[in-house]
A and B are shown apart, each in its own frame.
Chain A
Amino acid sequence: MLKMTSVRKTFRTDTIETHALRNFDLQVEEGDFVAVTGPSGSGKTTFLNVAGLLETFDEGDYQLDGKSVQGMNDRQLAQLRNEKIGFIFQSFNLLPDLNLFDNVDVPLRYRGFNSAERKQRIEQALETVGLANRMGHYPAQLSGGQQQRVAIARALAGSPRFLLADEPTGNLDSNMASGVLDLLSEINAQGTTIIMVTHDPSLAQRAQRNIFVRDGQVTEVQTGTNIQELLQQTAQV
């Protein structure tokens, strides 16, 4: 489903070279719910950006749905993002000038659905996240948890195969965070593959599968491993 083989990503400035990812190998199967943890600067976010086709990589191979993404142009990448991937961000990234309906509509517009289908999908997606009755509201009128639900609805509306979540609960209190995670679990149960970056071990434990990223490399860990400990170990190294 998602397969990275020896992926390397390096950031360079005139003086420093940073290996954000090196020999990064990962295979995610359809229906997985993967939590990615790791210390700051370990390459989690770079991994997510590469996985989500927001960033290119320097070496290695990345196959999405059995197809190598290498050498694809901007339009092909955009189309893949649009059709197969849904994004959820820490800071929601809702467009403040658009109401909920129009916010969820954004990816669908680029998909080229007709207006009846768009309407049906938007309503269904907002229904799923429990905000169908607030379609005409603007993001500023919602709480943080509600805003993230809208972002999830936006990610879901195009029926993507993958959901990529970058610290989806980072800006939320624990009560709201829990609710959002319930929602993600539900979505996963319906067949959508989810990769979630988080630094919160308790959240990671709710995923089916945990991976730990350190110095741009993957360590697979058993679900239920004390990630807190791992993090502390890393800090000591």
Chain B
Amino acid sequence: MIAYYGRLALLSLKKNVLLTGLMIAAIGLGIGAAMTTITVNYLMSADPIPNKSERLFAVQVDNWSPNEAYDEPNLPPDQVTWLEATQLTEAKMAYRQAGMGTSYGVIEPKGQDQKPYLASVRITYADFFPMFEPPFLYGSGWTAQADEARELVIVLSKEANNEIFGGANSVGETVTFSGNVFRVVGVLDEWEPKPKFFDLATGAFNDMEDVYMPYTLKQALELDTSGNNNCWKPIAEETFQAFLNSECVNSQFWVEFEDPDDKHAYLDFLHNYVAEQKQLGRFPREQNNRLHNVMEWLEYQEVVADDAQMMMYMALMFLIVCLLNTIALLLAKFTGRFGEIALRRAVGASRRTLMLHYSVEAAIVGVLGGLVGLILAWLGLQGISALYGDSTEGLTSLDGTMIAVGFALAIVSSILAALYPTWRACSIAPAGQLKTQ
């Protein structure tokens, strides 16, 4: 029967090409705009580490000024100080934990034909690798002993390894970074979690760092601080150590629990830790310690850009206009077919049968509109990535889910659009329409 309806639908669609074309174009444009913007929003708010986002927590403690909160309403800083990054990591009170920050430096050329390479650096602890699970091409992360002993070890991103070693297995090789000789212990494969959830300070969709090295080297080598550094209290002295010991927040601190419920025990620990620090004259504000798991953190940090949301709302309204358009056109179209509908009713089609029949026609329009919409969405995403440049890399690809969502949206919305016109058409009394034509 469906095949019969399909055949009749195609016949009817072919009969009025202009009207059919308009409907398909309207749905296609609406779906295209909606899918383009929904995809960007969807990718922006995607879970970057689905297998353990429930167990990874960003830690906040409030070391800010007694006179004003870091941000209203009484929010603690988004980052932590060097003191917390090191002391909380070394306390080892969670299953895994890693303080981290960013730096930069120049990797010196190995041969005559190479150029010096300005590298961005993530300084962190050994647990970083098992916590965030970056894929390794060669070797592995460093050990906790390396952290403690402040060994000059380095993990290269795939890109850095390509730049310096031409992509070869460089584990065991050395690189000279800002005058110090480091031993390569691991090389990562492609790794671009979006959003870059563990460090949102300078942008949620920034590139990953070029190289990774122990956080403990920051003090040992007096590494420069890059990224976001925020202070409320003047730094006491003109020494690097005074900067480290200051109340400036410039590092991130994450913990992993085996069970998300362990957060309660960890909050108790933080409470005690802050109480101890208060004894030392730090933390002038009330206790205000917070743990957010990955998705909570992305929500709290409002990772989905306002612009992206605004665009999505505009596009969704645009889709509604397109659907209103389709409803009106279908209504006009079905109104022109009252005679046929009455005849079909007379010869034995029930209302339900006819509803089904005309829904098939609407669904065909929906599928075609969906197809056009997905093509437009693909083009739209190319456009977005061209307009926004690198900052949207990885945020403009249609995956299987979004293609399915696009089709579902197209078919559901065209059937919804067809609902009223079909109902109107099928509820006409057959008697009145048959007598005069």
Contact = CB atoms under 8 A, between A and B. Distances in A.
Interface of A: 45, 49, 52, 54-55, 74-75, 77-79, 81-83, 87, 89-91, 93, 95, 97-98, 106-107, 109-112, 154, 158, 166
**Which 4 pairs across A and B sit closest by C-beta, in order of nearness?**
A82-B348, A78-B350, A107-B347, A54-B431
B351 interface: yes
A91 B4 contact: no
Nearest to A53: B346
B430 A54 contact: yes
Main secondary structure of the interface of B (DSSP, over half): helix
Contacts of B11: 97-98
B349 interface: yes
A49 to B, nearest CB: 4
B348 A78 contact: yes
From A55, A91, A109, name the one whose CB has the most chain B CB atoms within 10 angstroms: A109
From A49, A55, A111, A166, name the one whose CB has the most chain B CB atoms within 10 angstroms: A49
Contacts of A106: 343-344, 347
B437 A95 contact: no
A57 B347 CA distance: 19
A54 B431 CA distance: 6
Contacts of A166: 434-435
Given A55-B429, A78-B345, A97 B350 contact: no
A110 B436 CA distance: 24
A176 to B, nearest CB: 18
B404 to A, nearest CB: 33
Contacts of B344: 106, 110
B304 to A, nearest CB: 49
Interface string B143-155: 0000000000000
A83 B15 contact: no
A172 to B, nearest CB: 15
22 contacts: A45-B435, A54-B345, A54-B346, A54-B431, A74-B351, A75-B350, A75-B351, A78-B353, A79-B350, A81-B346, A81-B347, A81-B348, A82-B348, A82-B349, A89-B435, A91-B435, A91-B436, A93-B342, A93-B343, A93-B434, A110-B344, A112-B1
B233 interface: no
B377 to A, nearest CB: 34
B434 A54 contact: yes
A77 B351 CA distance: 10
A109 B429 contact: no
Contacts of B345: 54, 78
Contacts of A75: 350-352
Contacts of B245: none
A87 B339 CA distance: 14
Interface of B: 1, 4, 11-12, 15, 339-340, 342-353, 429-431, 434-437
Contacts of A93: 339, 342-343, 346, 434, 437
Given A93-B339, A106-B344, A78 B437 contact: no
B356 to A, nearest CB: 11
From B347, B352, B431, name the one whose CB has the most chain A CB atoms within 10 angstroms: B347
Contacts of B348: 78-79, 81-83, 107, 110-111, 158
B127 to A, nearest CB: 67
Given A82-B347, A97-B11, A74 B435 contact: no
A88 B29 CA distance: 45
B137 to A, nearest CB: 61
B353 A87 contact: no
A97 B14 CA distance: 10
B4 A95 contact: no
Contacts of A77: 350
A89 B342 CA distance: 12
Contacts of B340: 95
Given A74-B350, A83-B348, A154-B347, 14 more contacts: A74-B352, A78-B348, A81-B347, A81-B348, A87-B347, A89-B435, A90-B435, A91-B435, A91-B437, A97-B12, A106-B343, A109-B1, A109-B4, A166-B435
A108 B117 CA distance: 79
Contacts of B430: 54
Contacts of A154: 347
Contacts of A107: 347-348
Nearest to B4: A109
Nearest to A110: B348
From A54, A78, A89, A106, name the one whose CB has the most chain B CB atoms within 10 angstroms: A78
